[in-house]
Structure 1
Amino acid sequence: MLQQDEVGRAIDLNHLRINGQSSPNYIRHTKAQVHSELLESGRNNESSASNTFNGNMRMVFQPRCVITENNDKDAFSALQRATSVQCKQEIADVVCLKREGKLFAPTELPNYCPLRTLNRGKHVGCFQDSKKARLLANMAKSFPKENSVKHCILTCLRGGYEYAGVEWGVECYCSETFKQPEAISLSDNLCNTPCSGDRSIMCGGYNAISIYTTGAGSRKYSYPSLVDPSSLPSNLPKAHIVFVLTLNGRALRQVMRLIKALYHRDHYILIHVDARQEYLFRELSHITANYSNIRMVPYRYATIWGGANLTTMLLKCMEFLFSLTSWKWDFFVNLSESDYPIRPVEQLIAFLTMNRGLNFLRSHGKDTLRFIQKQGLERTFIQCDNHMWRIGERKLPHGIRIDGGSDWVALNRDFCEYLLTSNDRMISGLREYWKYTLLPGESYWHTVLQNSRFCGSFGNNNLHVVNWIRRKGCKCQYKAIVDWCGCSPNDFVAGDMQKIMVRFCLFAFIKINAMIYRNLHEKKKVIFFARKFEAVVNQEIVNEVDAFLYGSYPQDTPGLTSYWENVYTWQDRKIKLSDIDRTFYNTFARGSLSYLSQWSGDVHCSMHLLDISEVTIFKQADMFQGLLVKFIAEQSTSRTAHVLESLLQYRPMLQLHGTGEAVSRLKNIEVGTTFDVKEEMFKNVGNQIGPHSSFTVALYWSSGPVMEVTISVIDPAQVVATSFAININNNEYAVPLVMDFERPLRPGIWTVKVQHNWNIIAELHFLVSPYSHYGGRPITDSEAKMLHRGPDGKYEKDKPQFDIGASLELDDPQLAASVAMRNSLMAGVQLLEWIDDLTFKFWTVGELCSVGSILPCPGIQLCNITTWSSLSPDPKSQLGRVNPETGRMR
């Protein structure tokens, strides 16, 4: 978007010469870049841990205690996998502190909630129990070795239950209520089984339960109703909101739409951008600078999924807000780039105005023990190297109630101030525990609130509706960044508007399914936001929500159905461009210049490539239209540099053969490297696959009869890399098959063949491109020969070959192997020509445009007047002037 910067860079490049060459295709790194890359290389090449981590070996870090696979399995595994010296040292330090009993102290914390009672441990009596109808039925737990009256009371107190009961020595039961008059009292002599954890104390008997009070007090939740803004008393000051946007990724235009939807001159927007996201921070800093009530947080954290930094970051945001004395706010509302309002903000203002004393959080429900286990709260985690490492078990503090649920909250100012300034033992202790907690935002705010003087202000509502599809969102898709399996919601897509509207309670008589009906009748849940929305997945649903809230855009609005999302800019420093991406982007630019000179036939349009500036995904009506590659090229005659942008369009090479049920069920086959199991789609829409890639073959099936098919993947030398049979059930769904072969893969055109009853029903050709760049620079001849020869031996070393005979109809294997070998020896200009030839079998150059300067080439428009360029008009995603009457953006 920084068009002026790019034009200025092109002017600078007019005089750039490297090693005496007049037409370089890359730019020399600055000293700072080289230094940064050397450091990164050192980190990535750090040797992994050996079998034992102690002082007997020369190590890259110095643990203060012995850590072996036998005495600390989780910690040992984390040390083996961590890459940086600093992270290894942090893990070792925490493990040793934990072993010394110095990490989590004290083991019991005070509870300051005024709703609690003072009769903890009061013996209610011994009563007859039954397996069919438990007296205390909310929670049950067996403690074969550590059960005692105190242990059970503290366990039930942790869950917020008023009553605890011990039975048969090892059993512990909890409940919110106990109807004593209806229970059958027994003599205490029948509750005579010694406790498994302290045999001097009795823990009930056979079908006889000893019941005690925990002192937890009753669960006090508030369920306020929606407020009509017009009914607010005129003399009642309206609540002022600060929307805290915690952003990640590169979805700039989606963020702009969110800001526009939230904006009002009387309220505030504070933006935290993940420390790794330079592009988003840089662009938003420029765009929001003209608004006094929008600020960027000056310090930034790497906010990985489930990371401990998420809570630290929000606390620092609160701290920063209190330093802005001119901002007079009443509520702190956190949102992400994938949230969107589904009610007018005026209704949220009215709702919070009438409920100033409440804090809005969503509790998990009643089974706290299950929540604790599911969240991994009884495990110690540490964040480093952008990963959450599990390093062992821990015991949670006694004396307090644990609570948790959604990490989306609306907290009032008084509670935020308490979170920052209180030095009481409860909150200081929780800070230490939650420093080493997975998903801390899903339990920290709740637990502090339930055990503080603010416990009665718990509004059990996170103000959100979330699109949970558990069978898709709970597939452990975060294994790369966390040692735990969590769940993530799905995106709303076109067709989901009814689901949102039902939760809105706007349609009273429409037909709805049972699940939505149950959710609709939750206790007075009022919602203002929905998630997740990702315009790169589906933008139509965002347009539908906007139209519902504020009216439809005129049909002739430029870019109304278009969406652009940046994937690379030349200013990126922390996120390095991979070698295969650099290869493709340079190939695209060279092909675009070749297209330009051949199409125009004008000598003035002959140019050579200097460098790549930006790459952008372009979608229209939620269909991938191509990649936009912006690059700098030098005119051969005038030696003037220009910034151009080209549209590269992908041509899938899928063939279906014959007829029948199997062919009719197969909707599509795609190959890529980043398959989203939740959304059942590839996120790397350009299909950039290289010799070191691990790729996925995805087959999309419509509903129909159950069948078995055989999948074969064949390389350019007609080597069958793998073959296997899979069963296709009768549902409509996607089947992703991960191909984690021995690498390097042999470059060239690969083939996926699908067989049913040994007949080929479909085949897809896809490209594994050779490298033109390696290590961030043009590849050397020796590197090319080494990397393009294919693997040593089979692609799947440990898997027996699945023999499918001659049914695959392979081309001449000898000839194919000979051609592949000859291609693997290519270098220099020959290599580039081979890459270009392969690439443009799958890609075509659609259009070109010029940035900032008119080219003397027929038919080349300025980019900002096209309908496809990343510089094309896009009013729906642009911040405008503020309407003086409404206070909102025009």
Structure 2
Amino acid sequence: MKCPGESSKTCGGYFTMNVFETGLEKFVAKTPKTVGETGAVRIVFLLTLNGRALRQIHRLINALYRSNHYFYIHVDKRQDYLHRKLSILEKQYPNIKLATSRYSSIWGGASLLQMLIASMKDLFLLKWHWDYVINLSESDFPIKSLESLENFLSVNKGLNFVKSHGREVQRFIKKQGLDKTFIECETHMWRVGERKLPRGIVIDGGSDWVALSPQFVSYVTGKQDELLAGLEIVFKHTLLPAESFFHTALRNSQFCNTYVDNNLHVTNWKRKLGCKCQYKHVVDWCGCSPNDFKMEDWPRIQNTEDRQLFFARKFEPIINQEIITRVEQFIGFNDHHLLRNLEGYWQSIYHIDDLTSSTDDLLLTHAGSIIRQNAKILSEKGCTIDIYEIVEINSYNYADVYKGNLILHKAVLNKGSEIILETWYKQKKYMEFNFGNHLAENIKIFKVSSDYDQKEMIFRNLANILGPLSEPVLLYQFSPILEKKGENLTLIWLDPTGLIADVNVIIINENNLTNFIKPNLKIPLLPGIWKVGLFEHYELIVLTKFLITPLESFSGKDLTHQEASIIHSGSQNAYKDFSNIKPLHFLPDEEENILLQKISQSNIKRVNNDLKEWIDSLTSEFYNVLGLCVNQANLKDITNCGNYDFDDCSATEWSSLSPDPKGSIGKFNKISSRLDRV
């Protein structure tokens, strides 16, 4: 067509494009110096902690501690155990402070940014003189010496280190859900609608791990200007706000020329494993999370040697501790040959001083039964103990293999001395194979537990402690050399009365050799011994059993008849009709089924000692006591009991009371200004 403004020229057409240029210079992040005149630099390590990995936190502090640096520790409001244990450090070291205002943060929640801002405000109230604040979690660990970090930061004072998503802004906005309005309420991020982002603002983000200068931190935590006032409104209703707020404030403020596209971290991303929508229970979105480093990932850390990366994540000693020891050697630790229990790892599951300890009904029921089992073993050797209090329960790993749980408990010995004992126990393994079936030899894992972590492909419930209110999951793994793929197999869940509770179908293929099945079962589950069988055309391939432990107490009080009749009655009325499914030699016959139903009806009525006897009979079938020791302080009073000689816990390799220098805060060395572990 002829141009409306100039008829002598032609314009328009099917593929017409308009190209505009803003005239603004393209943003280029600052390049930090690698060499220069070094000087003193003071760092605040802002530790934002969750969970119960106390010994790993001690290990992290040991690696970073110098008397000229600071530690500001925020412990999640719900984590009473960690806060109580770390409060001791505040009294011992003037450069360690715990946050007094604590938040209950969730993955992706607005509360995480609120916590970071509140913590950074506190840094100025403490009158500390510092040059950088670096936020770390319990799953971070340094991958270069502290001296390397100090030298790097000292020649780059005033710069701010954040990690950007890259160039595609719109794609990042969509992926992060920044164009959606979220509200955090009752530990959940609710998506409530669409929204338009403010015009004239460059949206940026990528990672919530940062290293910031005091000038910029003072700006974002101080008196708000128009930019910050607007960003506060936007990010109050933003998913994953800590991954974007600091970046966006940097890009749009007078600090834009201090922006460095590097958060000093290397992160172990394995997208196929880490992007499983595992946070659906806390957020109306599907996010991703990095994986734990294992020894197989060591080359990724080695490859950072010549790069400006000083920390890595994630590390979990409950998953793999060997990689952490290797990293320590990599950054200059040379004391490993002097450390006792180098390959041991203990992590607290329960402590009597926890605010919620009295209502941990399943764990206390289970542990009480284990130590009663132990008391019977001692009584057979002429030693009488009266158990009256469980102090702590730990999980125990050695050389990255789960070795069982440890129960620290008080007891009265032979009606006289009060002692503290620790009992070591582990679940018995149970798998029954039908090697007449060609698939049986290809099965590597076939077990039931709860708290399955899709990202790490393990059960977090290491001891397989399940009760009527638990949600069991079956994990299976076939060998990669499996010949027959693409075959449909049947999974049958049998309750303690012999009724089929659920049936699942598994399709075996190359992408499905390791997977989990969550049955469609309503709670409460019927207490007792459950069975799960895997079948090919109703021919058994493999069978496993698992225990649903009856509860001895409810909300910290002994179970009443009325509560027992509700909690222990199961949900058999909710089962579907599976009468058409008749697996060979798996279901009890009619007479046995009637007997099992009668026994179950009788068990429902059990309370007090009668209930304990039932629980103990089930527990002894599934768990073995492996060892027993006594607290060193009690050895002065008693070394043996009847025909039983007590071991000293502090000299016993498996005990949580034995020395663990790597997992304890070291002794301050005035010469080196650091903590010595030996």
Same fold (TM over 0.5): yes
User: What SS does structure 2 have at the residue aligned with 1:805?
Assistant: coil
Match of 2:412 among 611, 634, 640: 634
Q: Which amino acid aligns with 2:657?
A: L
Q: Which amino acid aligns with 1:238?
A: A
Match of 1:407 among 188, 195, 208: 208
Report the CA distance shift for 1:431/1:272 in structure 2 as closer, same or farther (over 3 A). same
Paired with 1:318 and 1:629, the residues of 2 have a C-alpha distance of 40
Report the CA distance shift for 1:725/1:827 in structure 2 as closer, same or farther (over 3 A). same
Listed one character per residue, the Cα deviations across residues 159-210 of structure 1 (whole Å, up to 9, x for unaligned) are xxxxxxxxxxxxxxxxxxxxxxxxxx9999735xxxxxxxxxxxxx632122
Match of 1:289 among 81, 86, 91: 91
Listed one character per residue, the Cα deviations across residues 641-661 of structure 1 (whole Å, up to 9, x for unaligned) are 332221121112112220665
Q: How many angstroms does 1:633 deviate by? A: 2.3
The RMSD of aligned alpha carbons is 2.3
Q: How many angstroms does 1:479 deviate by? A: 1.3
Check conservation: 1:400, 1:451, Cα contact below 8 A.
Answer: yes
User: What SS does structure 1 have at the residue aligned with 2:20?
Assistant: strand
Paired with 1:653 and 1:737, the residues of 2 have a C-alpha distance of 18
Paired with 2:415 and 2:506, the residues of 1 have a C-alpha distance of 59
Q: How many angstroms does 1:215 deviate by? A: 5.5
Q: How many angstroms does 1:665 deviate by? A: 2.2
Paired with 1:270 and 1:186, the residues of 2 have a C-alpha distance of 71
Q: How does 1:45-56 map to 2 (within 5 A)?
A: none
Structure 1: segments with no counterpart, 5+ residues: 1-125, 129-184, 192-204, 506-524
- The corresponding residue for 2:158 is 357
| TM-score using structure 1 length | 0.71
- The corresponding residue for 2:44 is 242
Q: How many angstroms does 1:556 deviate by? A: 6.2
- The corresponding residue for 1:592 is 374
Report the CA distance shift for 1:733/1:267 in structure 2 as closer, same or farther (over 3 A). farther
2:221 paired with 1:420: yes
Check conservation: 2:292, 2:316, Cα contact below 8 A.
Answer: yes
Q: How many angstroms does 1:620 deviate by? A: 0.8
Q: Which amino acid aligns with 2:387?
A: L
Pick which of 586-595 and 357-366 moved more.
586-595
Report the CA distance shift for 1:764/1:420 in structure 2 as closer, same or farther (over 3 A). same
Match of 1:869 among 626, 639, 655: 655
Q: How many angstroms does 1:551 deviate by? A: 3.9
- The corresponding residue for 1:684 is 461
User: What SS does structure 1 have at the residue aligned with 2:324?
Assistant: helix
Q: How many angstroms does 1:732 deviate by? A: 7.5
Q: How does 1:824-863 map to 2 (within 5 A)?
A: 824-851=604-631, 852-854=633-635, 855=638, 856-857=640-641, 858-863=644-649
- The corresponding residue for 2:502 is 722
Q: How many angstroms does 1:862 deviate by? A: 3.2
- The corresponding residue for 1:713 is 493
2:53 paired with 1:267: no
Report the CA distance shift for 1:368/1:575 in structure 2 as closer, same or farther (over 3 A). farther
Listed one character per residue, the Cα deviations across residues 756-800 of structure 1 (whole Å, up to 9, x for unaligned) are 34321211111011111122211113322333232242434xxx6
Check conservation: 1:361, 1:406, Cα contact below 8 A.
Answer: yes
Listed one character per residue, the Cα deviations across residues 668-710 of structure 1 (whole Å, up to 9, x for unaligned) are 1121120000000000112111122221111122213313321
Check conservation: 1:781, 1:827, Cα contact below 8 A.
Answer: yes
Match of 2:121 among 313, 319, 322: 319
- The corresponding residue for 1:764 is 544
Q: How many angstroms does 1:888 deviate by? A: 2.4
2:147 paired with 1:346: yes
Q: How many angstroms does 1:543 deviate by? A: 1.1
User: What SS does structure 2 have at the residue aligned with 1:302?
Assistant: coil
Match of 1:701 among 452, 459, 478: 478
Q: How many angstroms does 1:724 deviate by? A: 2.5
2:14 paired with 1:213: no
Pick which of 772-781 and 357-366 moved more.
772-781
Paired with 2:357 and 2:172, the residues of 1 have a C-alpha distance of 36
Paired with 1:298 and 1:827, the residues of 2 have a C-alpha distance of 44
2:255 paired with 1:454: yes
Check conservation: 1:338, 1:531, Cα contact below 8 A.
Answer: yes
Listed one character per residue, the Cα deviations across residues 574-604 of structure 1 (whole Å, up to 9, x for unaligned) are 5764322221122122222222222x313xx
Report the CA distance shift for 1:421/1:794 in structure 2 as closer, same or farther (over 3 A). closer
Check conservation: 1:614, 1:629, Cα contact below 8 A.
Answer: yes
User: Highest CA radius of gyration, 1 or 2?
Assistant: 1
Listed one character per residue, the Cα deviations across residues 341-360 of structure 1 (whole Å, up to 9, x for unaligned) are 11111111111111113111
How many matched pairs? 661
Pick which of 240-249 and 855-864 moved more.
855-864
Report the CA distance shift for 1:254/1:752 in structure 2 as closer, same or farther (over 3 A). same
- The corresponding residue for 2:385 is 607
Check conservation: 2:359, 2:554, Cα contact below 8 A.
Answer: no
Paired with 1:696 and 1:885, the residues of 2 have a C-alpha distance of 54
Q: How many angstroms does 1:885 deviate by? A: 3.9
Check conservation: 1:561, 1:622, Cα contact below 8 A.
Answer: yes
Match of 1:332 among 119, 122, 133: 133
Report the CA distance shift for 1:825/1:496 in structure 2 as closer, same or farther (over 3 A). same
Match of 2:295 among 464, 483, 494: 494
Q: How many angstroms does 1:248 deviate by? A: 0.5
Q: How many angstroms does 1:338 deviate by? A: 0.3
Structure 2: segments with no counterpart, 5+ residues: none
Q: Which amino acid aligns with 1:656?
A: F
Match of 2:440 among 663, 676, 689: 663
Q: Which amino acid aligns with 1:437?
A: T
- The corresponding residue for 1:190 is 11
Paired with 2:89 and 2:9, the residues of 1 have a C-alpha distance of 73
2:168 paired with 1:394: no
User: What SS does structure 2 have at the residue aligned with 1:839?
Assistant: helix
Check conservation: 1:467, 1:491, Cα contact below 8 A.
Answer: yes
Listed one character per residue, the Cα deviations across residues 206-264 of structure 1 (whole Å, up to 9, x for unaligned) are 3212222345531121233645xxxx53xx42222111110001100010111111112
Q: How does 1:556-575 map to 2 (within 5 A)?
A: 557-574=339-356
Check conservation: 1:241, 1:329, Cα contact below 8 A.
Answer: yes
Report the CA distance shift for 1:735/1:853 in structure 2 as closer, same or farther (over 3 A). same
- The corresponding residue for 1:171 is none
Q: How many angstroms does 1:527 deviate by? A: 0.9
User: What SS does structure 2 have at the residue aligned with 1:400?
Assistant: coil
Paired with 2:153 and 2:267, the residues of 1 have a C-alpha distance of 21
Listed one character per residue, the Cα deviations across residues 84-103 of structure 1 (whole Å, up to 9, x for unaligned) are xxxxxxxxxxxxxxxxxxxx
Q: How many angstroms does 1:859 deviate by? A: 1.9
Paired with 2:8 and 2:74, the residues of 1 have a C-alpha distance of 62
User: What SS does structure 2 have at the residue aligned with 1:763?
Assistant: strand
Check conservation: 1:276, 1:574, Cα contact below 8 A.
Answer: no
Q: How many angstroms does 1:808 deviate by? A: 4.7
Paired with 1:526 and 1:436, the residues of 2 have a C-alpha distance of 34
Q: How many angstroms does 1:370 deviate by? A: 1.3
- The corresponding residue for 1:89 is none
User: What SS does structure 2 have at the residue aligned with 1:848?
Assistant: strand
Listed one character per residue, the Cα deviations across residues 551-575 of structure 1 (whole Å, up to 9, x for unaligned) are 4544463211110000111111157
Paired with 2:7 and 2:332, the residues of 1 have a C-alpha distance of 66
- The corresponding residue for 1:467 is 268
Listed one character per residue, the Cα deviations across residues 353-387 of structure 1 (whole Å, up to 9, x for unaligned) are 11113111010011111111111112222223222
Pick which of 855-864 and 382-391 moved more.
855-864
Match of 1:436 among 226, 237, 241: 237
Check conservation: 2:352, 2:358, Cα contact below 8 A.
Answer: no
Listed one character per residue, the Cα deviations across residues 515-560 of structure 1 (whole Å, up to 9, x for unaligned) are xxxxxxxxxx521111100111111111111122224544463211
- The corresponding residue for 1:746 is 526
Report the CA distance shift for 1:186/1:535 in structure 2 as closer, same or farther (over 3 A). farther
Provide the identity percentage: 39
Paired with 1:802 and 1:462, the residues of 2 have a C-alpha distance of 59
Paired with 2:66 and 2:668, the residues of 1 have a C-alpha distance of 8
Check conservation: 1:269, 1:295, Cα contact below 8 A.
Answer: yes
- The corresponding residue for 1:579 is 361
